[in-house]
């Protein structure tokens, strides 16, 4: 039997407790042994929760308990979460996380620490929520040279853009709706400004090409400047405005990475990904295009990916898997030098340009790179 502790009992942490409890038989079958939740670490008192008897406030209780083999970190951010993760790995405990900021900013260090102590550090839920994505990229597509990746990796912004089109709401109204439904946080800046998508883009690049891409090096444009008239015009022309992450491995050996709203034509499967769903198209030189689609956020879907990592960690507790990347920086190119067609608004009228680099775009009120 393996005992487990959850750090943080918010949206994801509570979902993990639910999945591990309700699907205990499936988890045990996959792991090859029973996996039992022993502690939940949170500074709050939650007396009405069925998991209240497992609550503790001091992480040292988990750290010093030799029975705890796996720690699930769902605190978020890079403060306490980073400190507790370091301590858990140093104590010889496998760590599973959904924390994309922590992985994007400190992944090299934490993976090295896990290797040093002979344990696993897994983070499937950090990109794409419940969609099986990172493990297929690292394992099933490992015989490919990854040529490009493009997709919708933020369910909040995708929901907002969908609501703007379907309900005729401006961005601020659509945001309030997303918040009322639990899709957007009270502070939605990381979603609206594209920061959340950048972190996920970096993790994908790290895994695909084995070198580190720091979030601060990725050009980003969020959706705050997307107007309702832009979305309506795109729809009338048969396309859609979507916030996309883009990764292209150039023939020059450089990687081009950016996050920005794009005009997506109807011929692309990404055009039809609506509401809070996520999708990613990975192109390999052998496999061609493969698309991963599903629920990219939410308590139980994200917990599904976390629980899958728990199963994998227990299954490989005696022979840790060699997931990781080098701290050598990924050589980058400037996305603005890539020629593309653009969908631009000038004097209230829309048209498509011929392929142009960003510095050649004529003066306009709004412009979106076309996903060709």
C-alpha distance across the termini of the chain, in Å: 51
Q: In whole angstroms, what is the distance from residue 70 CA to residue 5 CA?
A: 7
Longest Cα separation, the chain: 68
Q: In whole angstroms, what is the distance from residue 272 CA to residue 260 CA?
A: 18
117 close to 89: Cβ distance less than 8 angstroms: yes
Any catalytic annotation for residue 200?
A: yes
Tokens 């790995």 belong to residue: 89
- Which residues, in sequence order, are CB contacts of 349 under 8 Å at separation 6+? none
Q: In whole angstroms, what is the distance from residue 63 CA to residue 66 CA?
A: 8
Residue of 200, 242, 317, 349 marked catalytic = 200
Q: In whole angstroms, what is the distance from residue 257 CA to residue 332 CA?
A: 8
Q: In whole angstroms, what is the distance from residue 102 CA to residue 110 CA?
A: 9
Interior angle at CA 99, CA 186 and CA 316, nearest 5: 150
Radius of gyration of the chain, Cα coordinates, nearest whole angstrom: 21
Catalytic residue set: 200
């Amino acid at each position: 039997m393996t005992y487990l502790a959850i750090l943080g009992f918010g949206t994801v942490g509570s979902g993990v407790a639910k999945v591990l409890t309700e699907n205990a038989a499936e988890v045990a079958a996959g792991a090859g042994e029973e996996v039992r939740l022993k502690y939940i670490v949170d500074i709050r008192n939650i007396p009405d929760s069925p998991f209240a008897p497992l609550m503790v406030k001091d992480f040292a209780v988990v750290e010093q308990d030799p029975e705890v083999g796996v720690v699930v970190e769902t605190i978020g951010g890079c403060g306490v979460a980073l400190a507790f993760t370091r301590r858990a790995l140093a104590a010889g405990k496998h760590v599973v996380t959904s924390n994309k900021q922590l992985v994007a900013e400190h992944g090299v260090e934490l993976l090295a620490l896990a290797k040093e102590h002979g344990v696993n550090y897994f983070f499937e839920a950090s990109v794409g929520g419940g969609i099986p994505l990172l493990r297929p990229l690292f394992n099933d597509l490992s015989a490919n040279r990854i040529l490009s990746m493009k997709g919708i990796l933020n369910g909040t912004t995708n929901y907002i853009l969908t609501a703007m089109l379907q309900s005729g709401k401006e961005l601020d109204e659509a945001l309030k709706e997303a918040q009322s439904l639990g899709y957007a946080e009270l502070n939605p800046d990381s979603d609206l400004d594209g920061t959340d998508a950048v972190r996920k883009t970096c993790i994908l690049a790290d895994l695909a090409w084995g070198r580190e891409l720091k979030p601060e090096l990725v050009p980003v444009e969020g959706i705050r400047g997307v107007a309702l008239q832009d979305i309506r015009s795109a729809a009338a022309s048969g396309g859609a405005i979507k916030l996309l992450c883009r990764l292209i491995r150039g023939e020059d050996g450089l990687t081009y990475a950016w996050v920005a709203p794009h005009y997506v034509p109807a011929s692309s499967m990404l055009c039809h990904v609506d509401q809070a769903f996520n999708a990613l198209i990975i192109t390999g030189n052998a496999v061609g295009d493969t698309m991963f689609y599903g629920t990219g956020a939410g308590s139980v879907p994200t917990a599904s990916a976390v629980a899958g990592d728990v199963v994998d960690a227990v299954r490989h507790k005696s022979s840790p898997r060699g997931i990781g990347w080098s701290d050598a920086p990924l050589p980058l190119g400037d996305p603005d030098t890539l020629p593309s067609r653009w969908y631009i608004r000038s004097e209230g009228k829309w048209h498509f340009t011929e392929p142009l680099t960003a510095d050649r775009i004529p003066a306009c009120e709004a412009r979106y790179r076309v996903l060709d």
